[in-house]
Amino acid sequence: MDSSFPTRSRLVLFLFSLFVLSGYLPGYHVLETQNIPHAQEMQAKCRTISNLPGPPGSFLKREVSDRFEVGTNSTLILNTTMLIGQGNDTHILHGDLYLDKGLVKAIGSLSHLALVNGSVLNLTVINANEAWVTPGLVDIHTHLGLLGTPFLTGAFDANPKHGPVLPWLRNIDGFNTHDDGFQLAIAGGVTSVQVLSGSMNNIGGQSVIVKLRRTSEGSSLSMVVEPPYNLNGSFEGSTRWRHLQQACGQTPSQYGNNRPDAIWALRSAYAEAQRILIAQEQYCSDVEAGLWDSLGEFPENLQFEMLVDVLRSKVKVTSQCQTIEDIDALVRLTNEYKFPVASLQHASEAWLIPAVLNRTWGGSPSVALFATNHRYNFGSYRGSEFAPRVLSDAGIPVVMKSAHPVVNSRYLLQEAQQAHYYGLPPYLALASITSVPAMAVGLDHRIGSLHEGADADVVMWDSNPLQPGATPKYVWIDGALQIPLPRRTDREQVEVGVGKEGEEWTRFPGVPDWEKERKQAIEWEGLPPLTGRKQSGRTIFLNVRDVWLGVDGTVQQVVHPGSDLVNIAVENGRITCVGDSVACPSTTFDAAEHVDLNGGSVSPGLMTFGSQLGLEEIRSEPSTGDGSPFDAFTDRVPAILHDPGAVVKAADTLRFGTRNALTAYRSGVTYGTACLMKSAFGGRSNVIAGVSATFRTGASHAMERGAIIQSDVALHVAIHRPDPFSKKSDVSFQGVVPLVIDVGNADIMATLLILKAEVENRLGSRMRMVFSGAAEAHILAKEISGANVGVILDAKPTVGVWDDHRTLPGPPLTNDTTLVILIREGVKVGLRSREAQFVRNIGFDLVSAMLASNGRIGKAEAYALVSTNLRELLGVIMDDQTGDLVAYTGGSLFETSSKVAAVISARKGQVDIFTVT
Ligand SMILES: *[C@@H]1O[C@H](CO)[C@@H](O)[C@H](O)[C@H]1NC(C)=O
Ligand SMILES: *[C@@H]1O[C@H](CO)[C@@H](O)[C@H](O)[C@H]1NC(C)=O
Ligand SMILES: *[C@@H]1O[C@H](CO)[C@@H](O)[C@H](O)[C@H]1NC(C)=O
Ligand SMILES: *[C@@H]1O[C@H](CO)[C@@H](O)[C@H](O)[C@H]1NC(C)=O
Ligand SMILES: *[C@@H]1O[C@H](CO)[C@@H](O)[C@H](O)[C@H]1NC(C)=O
Ligand SMILES: *[C@@H]1O[C@H](CO)[C@@H](O)[C@H](O)[C@H]1NC(C)=O
Ligand SMILES: *[C@@H]1O[C@H](CO)[C@@H](O)[C@H](O)[C@H]1NC(C)=O
């Protein structure tokens, strides 16, 4: 051993003398520090600098919430079915809930409170009649308040532009308190959200958790939960969690950073922070040792102090890392610098490497996922609908999130419903949008679960929250009523939950068994084969409960549930018999393949329109699609083409066998109509989108029998006010031909209707016009109907740009939806999906649209919206006799218990069977 190395006895002696000098001789000590400016302050700082954040032990015994608004009534909710619990220990309790002073004051059997105090205090008593009550939902990933609804350049404070590493920026400094998105999110039961600034920076700044209600103070700060920034930024004796967002991988590419660059940006920032940390620790040990003579200023750097706190484990870091290499690199970095990561965002490939997640310093982060929003970029290509289940099976906490406005935060619940549909157990699905995200942001002592002393953020639902279309009847935030909208009078009450009186609505919905598909997805590392087994001989479907067929251009139910189960025999893709085991015996065909539908159904294949399905594989990868379409409105057509209009045809550029098309096919959407309209973020890029084509989603190439249904469908143009994020100037629309017009704004629709009348007058002929998008169409529904113009609405109504901002959101905000009003006025309506990867969710969307109509849209009408109506509006001519039929096991398109077992195609003369063996 090196002789200069202190032996243990020398070390003990040294420490002893330090102890004697600094502590045992108090007079000497005080004498010294008295002469040092800020000495006591420094001693206090050094004593507490490493304290971990968190509420004091007495937190749950507080009498009044720091967020309580004076004048808020207390509320007693009687007879609930209540979701309570912490973390994954989530279960239900039947009982009453008492909210007072912004807190959950009591849970249990509390009806006596109503009797004794009800008439005296300002107590609102609500009888829940066993309705489901949950904590307010927590959305761990949104851009609310930074990227406002509607999108406006003046309210765009996301993705700061001044460098890849900006740990000093505070999102609160740009947080807009008037975002239309808040009320929509509350209408979906969301009460708290994390506000992130986007993933274009490696360190994008300090995020905050806000509650979405309007505060009486009205400031940005007053919306923040436990703000670490204000004067009162600490609890008694302890501090509050701070929040930081990071990103690695391909998204922070605005600075030309590739993956290694991104990790280097993080590593060099943490190296700097570590230098400061070591200097501070040295400083504090000098303070402790009383070595005042050599002490200068406390080593600090305002730009890096946040990262120093990360290294002290005082920050809930959220890090967006999509692929295996991204996650692996981040995990190594956490071990290199020893800091924990609270959550991973968009971690599409995390499900493939749970053991790597577990190696994160300080334990595995929670993994925040979309249910079905995959394949939008390279990093999400191997994302899977089975990921939530696979991760939770591996003991990793799973969070479902919206990344609003990617998915509108209003539909956060639907992310959990879909995760449940694809295998996440019901309580974990609910925990994934309540207690688990609350824990991941360090606020589970007050949000995300119902316990005495928690914040009074509560939602009462019109059904079991995992039932599709579940809608809040009541929402409270900090005990203050948000839904129904308090400013309404009784007469203006919005109806919620019509048609959900049956007991079945209170139960968790049945879901299919996906075990085989899940195993296959793991085995193929996210890219399982999607084509079915082709059966061109005989197939017999057993135990069919429900049969719908196309009849005279409509969809009609020919076998009703309630009658006996039937068999359906199919030969070369054509039905040869439908009936009981006498009329259509399963033994007729010995050589046949038997598919047990288990009380399922057979119904016509659906059509999709509105996305790039069939035109590209990965949205952000130009080489997998067609790039930007030529637009004769803004580009000059080369003379050599002899085609001044340069109308492009989708039929020339169709791509078959894309994963989104096959996934749509396996979800019962057997036809797609596509045009070359590229939608930019917040607007549309091209004016003339050319001629659309209709194709079979399950075909493998254009020359396969039946692959192209119609190559010239409709002419598509887009007429909008300028895209708020594009530098291009506005383009005015002049010529008019029969066409499908992408339009959102009611004033533009009015102009088009006037123009249409003029043209028809002058030419003496009628033109077929369809509005697509048409969010504000309800404003002139009568006029649209009178002009015989059809409308194709978004399947999930949301507001993006200003042109759409007057759309009707439906219950619990308005009685009516744009869809309901158009149907009432006799307009022919279809529904579209804007993103190819969401086409598979059409069943959820249809059920939601039906339920939001409060019983005014039935199943046959809903079917028509995505089949016969859409065909008619687009001008697709199809023969119902040779149309595709979809066989569902375990229920119909309208039930979550079902999944598609096969597609029967008379045109192709075969059956595609999807059951995994
Ligand atoms: C619930 O969490 C505990 C500890 O956090 C863990 O041991 C247990 O496996 C989890 N259970 C489930 C079903 O995830
Ligand atoms: C209701 O009254 C009882 C008895 O008067 C009292 O003990 C209790 O604290 C009161 N409850 C509330 C919520 O004020
Ligand atoms: C009840 O509410 C009214 C109006 O907000 C207020 O003036 C009154 O003081 C409240 N009464 C009690 C007992 O809190
Ligand atoms: C508060 O409670 C009182 C007494 O029950 C009631 O008259 C009043 O309408 C309630 N206020 C609100 C805003 O619910
Ligand atoms: C709770 O509500 C259910 C359903 O409306 C009702 O049957 C039951 O009697 C109620 N229980 C109490 C204690 O009020
Ligand atoms: C990850 O860690 C959790 C919690 O310690 C444990 O339950 C789980 O088995 C681990 N999973 C893997 C794949 O190592
Ligand atoms: C909503 O519909 C219900 C039932 O038809 C009606 O009583 C109520 O007045 C309507 N509310 C509004 C705001 O139109």
Q: Which ligand is nearest to the CA of 487?
A: 4
Give the 3-state secondary structure of residue 23.
Answer: helix
Instruction: Report CA dihedral (851, 854, 858, 861) to the nearest 10 degrees.
Output: -90
Length of the chain: 917
Q: Which ligand is nearest to the CA of 99?
A: 2
**pLDDT value at position 586?**
78
Does residue 120 register a pLDDT over 90? no
Ligand 2 center–CA 113 separation, angstroms:
7
**pLDDT value at position 354?**
97
Does residue 233 register a pLDDT over 80? no
**Residue 273, φ and ψ in degrees, nearest 5:** -60, -40
- Name the residue of 122, 124, 216 whose CB sits within 8 Å of the most ligand 3 atoms, as the mutation to test its pocket: 122
Q: Which of 114-118, 561-565, 631-635, 740-744 has the lowest mean pLDDT?
A: 114-118
**pLDDT value at position 14?**
45
Would you say 189 and 137 are in contact if contact means Cβ atoms under 8 Å apart?
yes
Q: Which ligand is nearest to the CA of 432?
A: 1
Does residue 139 register a pLDDT over 90? yes
Q: Which ligand is nearest to the CA of 71?
A: 3
Q: Could you tell me if the CB of 491 is within 6 A of ligand 7?
A: yes
**pLDDT value at position 766?**
83
Q: Could you tell me if the CB of 345 is within 6 A of ligand 7?
A: no
Does residue 121 register a pLDDT over 80? no
Q: Tell me, what amino acid is at 131?
A: A
User: What distance in Å separates the CA atoms of residue 802 and residue 787, rounded to the nearest whole number?
Assistant: 25
String of DSSP letters for 475-486: EEETTEEEES-T
User: What distance in Å separates the CA atoms of residue 915 and residue 755, rounded to the nearest whole number?
Assistant: 52
User: What distance in Å separates the CA atoms of residue 268 and residue 270, rounded to the nearest whole number?
Assistant: 5
CA dist list (Å): 912 to 550, 584, 595, 708: 20, 21, 11, 18
CA-nearest residue for atom 11, ligand 4, is 73
CA dist list (Å): 119 to 215, 311, 324, 672, 820: 28, 54, 61, 61, 41
Average pLDDT over residues 736-751: 83
**pLDDT value at position 1?**
38
CA-nearest residue for atom 12, ligand 6, is 355
User: What distance in Å separates the CA atoms of residue 314 and residue 913, rounded to the nearest whole number?
Assistant: 53
Average pLDDT over residues 421-435: 97
Q: Could you tell me if the CB of 40 is within 6 A of ligand 6?
A: no
Ligand 7 center–CA 44 separation, angstroms:
61
- Residue-averaged pLDDT of the chain: 89
Give the 3-state secondary structure of residue 710.
Answer: strand
**pLDDT value at position 25?**
40
Query: pLDDT digit string (tens) for 873-907?
Result: 999 988 877 899 999 999 999 999 999 999 999 99
> Residue 20 gets which letter from DSSP?
I
**pLDDT value at position 87?**
58
**pLDDT value at position 738?**
47
Work out whether strand 366-369 and strand 343-345 pair parallel, antiparallel, or are unpaired: parallel
Atom in ligand 7 nearest the alpha carbon of residue 488: 13
**pLDDT value at position 536?**
85
Ligand 7 center–CA 145 separation, angstroms:
31
User: What distance in Å separates the CA atoms of residue 370 and residue 9, rounded to the nearest whole number?
Assistant: 59
- Name the residue of 74, 124, 481 whose CB sits within 8 Å of the most ligand 4 atoms, as the mutation to test its pocket: 124
**pLDDT value at position 589?**
58
Atom in ligand 1 nearest the alpha carbon of residue 397: 14
Does residue 488 register a pLDDT over 70? no
**pLDDT value at position 411?**
97
Q: Tell me, what amino acid is at 610?
A: G
Ligand 4 center–CA 384 separation, angstroms:
48
Query: pLDDT digit string (tens) for 778-817?
Result: 999 999 999 999 999 999 888 888 999 999 999 999 999 9
Q: What is the percent of the chain where pLDDT is above 90?
A: 69
Average pLDDT over residues 174-196: 97
The owner of tokens 């979405």 is 212
List alpha helices for 655-732, DSSP H.
Answer: 659-665
Would you say 691 and 651 are in contact if contact means Cβ atoms under 8 Å apart?
yes
pLDDT range class, residue 430, cuts 50, 70, 90:
very high
Distance of CA 487 to the CA centre of its chain: 29
CB 493: neighbour CB atoms within 10 A? Answer: 12
Ligand 2 center–CA 123 separation, angstroms:
11
Q: What is the percent of the chain where pLDDT is above 70?
A: 88
Query: pLDDT digit string (tens) for 639-671?
Result: 776 666 667 889 989 999 999 999 999 999 999
Atom in ligand 2 nearest the alpha carbon of residue 117: 1
**pLDDT value at position 413?**
98
Give the residue, 264 or 686, on which the prediction is more confident. 264
Domains of the chain and CATH, by start: 1-35 (no CATH), 137-506 (3.20.20.140), 529-605+883-917 (2.30.40.10), 606-882 (3.20.20.140)
**pLDDT value at position 763?**
84
CA-nearest residue for atom 7, ligand 6, is 395
Segment 759-767 long-range contacts (CB within 8 Å, at least 24 positions apart): 767/736, 767/737, 767/738
**pLDDT value at position 33?**
57
User: What distance in Å separates the CA atoms of residue 423 and residue 390, rounded to the nearest whole number?
Assistant: 9
The owner of tokens 């079991």 is 464
Atom in ligand 1 nearest the alpha carbon of residue 392: 14
Ligand 5 center–CA 80 separation, angstroms:
9
Query: pLDDT digit string (tens) for 812-855?
Result: 999 999 999 999 999 999 999 999 999 999 999 999 999 999 99
Query: pLDDT digit string (tens) for 274-310?
Result: 999 999 999 999 999 988 888 888 999 999 999 999 9
Q: What angle do CA 901, 902, 906 make, to 5 degrees?
A: 160
Ligand 5 center–CA 103 separation, angstroms:
25
- What lies within 8 Å, CB to CB, of 345 at 6+ separation is 140, 141, 196, 199, 247, 318, 319, 320, 321, 368, 401, 403
Give the 3-state secondary structure of residue 136.
Answer: coil
Picking from 876, 829, 869, the residue whose alpha carbon sits closest to that of residue 714 is 876
Atom in ligand 5 nearest the alpha carbon of residue 78: 14
Ligand 3 center–CA 75 separation, angstroms:
14
Query: pLDDT digit string (tens) for 10-45?
Result: 544 444 444 434 433 443 444 455 566 678 888 988
**pLDDT value at position 23?**
38
**pLDDT value at position 32?**
54
Work out whether strand 566-571 and strand 679-680 pair parallel, antiparallel, or are unpaired: unpaired
Would you say 329 and 306 are in contact if contact means Cβ atoms under 8 Å apart?
no
**pLDDT value at position 836?**
95
Ligand 7 center–CA 815 separation, angstroms:
6
- What lies within 8 Å, CB to CB, of 538 at 6+ separation is 569, 570, 571, 589, 591, 592, 593
Ligand 4 center–CA 723 separation, angstroms:
46
Look at phi and psi of residue 173 and say left if phi exceeds 0, alpha if psi is from -120 to 50, else beta: alpha
List alpha helices for 653-727, DSSP H.
Answer: 659-665
Query: pLDDT digit string (tens) for 414-427?
Result: 999 999 999 999 99
Give the residue, 183 or 725, on which the prediction is more confident. 183
First to last CA, the chain: 67
Ligand 7 center–CA 361 separation, angstroms:
55
Does residue 730 register a pLDDT over 60? no
Average pLDDT over residues 110-128: 78
Instruction: Report CA dihedral (306, 308, 309, 315) to the nearest 10 degrees.
Output: 70
> Residue 878 gets which letter from DSSP?
-
Burial 35-68, CB ≥16 within 10 A → b, else e:
ebeebeebbeebeebeeebebeeeeeebeebebb
pLDDT range class, residue 230, cuts 50, 70, 90:
low
Atom in ligand 2 nearest the alpha carbon of residue 98: 13
